[in-house]
Structure 1
Amino acid sequence: MLSQDKRHVIAKRIAEELMDGQIVNLGIGIPTLVSEYLEDKEVFLQTENGLLGMGPLATEENLDIDLINAGKEPVTYLKSASFFNSADSFGLIRGGHVDVAVLGILQVDINGEIANWAVPNQPILGVGGAMDLVTGAQKVIVAATLFAKDGTSKLVNKLTYKTSGIRRVELFVSDYAVFKFTEEGPRVVEMLEPISIEELSEKVGFQLEYLNSPVEVN
């Protein structure tokens, strides 16, 4: 697994969490790659700029410059797709009709609260749909590499970046491990790298525990 693109490892693992019939919103960054790994699953991808039934990312062969997702990336659409305005799209989100939101993050704390839209001392473009998705989606899965470029952990005791909402997300799928957030804090569901939980705890900076029986990569 070390030889694979970490972003694709994360996206493929998240795709395993999705089920037929679900309406799923894919955020900017790693989440957009999830569409590449759905295979034969009947999942309806939604983007807040007004599309339900989004297909995989576009290639040069099927590029339509007028068809983009919320991150302005060219996408395709399924035969069953629907197009609508942004107001209706946010009504879908705020009305609780999105089953799963997959979001990128800058940080997630031990309680499952996330920060994914503003970096201190950097220009702020706005939160976009993140706060609506954190509040309105039935389930929130977050996707990111576990460590930033400077080596600091994105799983932290307390957020130092601006929050995206006080709701506890369900899962954090990283390149090292899958975490579930419980009343007792984050618990490791599955290890995705050949590393012990003790070694990973040392890297993160606090003791991690398994949710159930350990599932490690050998």
Structure 2
Amino acid sequence: MPDLTTFAKHVQDVLSDAFREPHWTPEELERYMAEVELRRVAFENLADQLNQTVVRPRLEILAKQFPNTALLEEQQSHQSSCTFEYCDRFPAFATIEFSIEHDMRFETLFVHLRCRIVPVFVKFVEQDNLPLPSDSVEEEEVADWVEERLLEFLDTYMQLDAESDSEEELTTDPVCGMKILHSAAAGTESYYGHPYYFCSKGCLTKFQDDPEQYAQIKTI
């Protein structure tokens, strides 16, 4: 078993240094907490404004373009999301969500994006965020970022369109059986001249370890 003596000494050193650090006076602590509270109130107001005037109206525009969408009521403060139900034309369930978040001291505001598409036929950005100093947030900058993310999502979602004239075909991952577009493959491998496409690096590795088990073409 590794010796814990050195680690125990480091713990004691850190604790000793902490105890030697000067502590805040009650007045300093009260002043600090008052400043944090002011930033919290400012964040709440700003986040609500951004959600109502920037994020949600743009989600509404997107949602109106499809009959299989629903703009969800806010489950949490400063959060808006839109779901796309599975249908014949778009054979996948999708969700796009924006939330306005903050750091511990309310000094930085984050516009956070989360996307989900199931089953995964195409590559897409699952998460992204825009960090901004809380005291200098520009609505136009937030609007531009949100619009870019929405258009990226729309471009991805339209790749699922079963009525599209696109000539690109779906292929089946030989390991897990998932159907994916060639362009969305996480990896490819040729076995006896036959190309195979994979939804993930994990499936590619499994195939490379034992291609005979998964290949459609069997060797004699």
State the TM-score, normalizing by the size of structure 1. Answer: 0.22
| Structure possessing the higher relative contact order (Cα contacts under 8 Å, 6 or more residues apart) | 1
Higher Cα Rg: structure 1 or 2?
2
TM-score by length of 2: 0.22
Greater fraction helix: 2
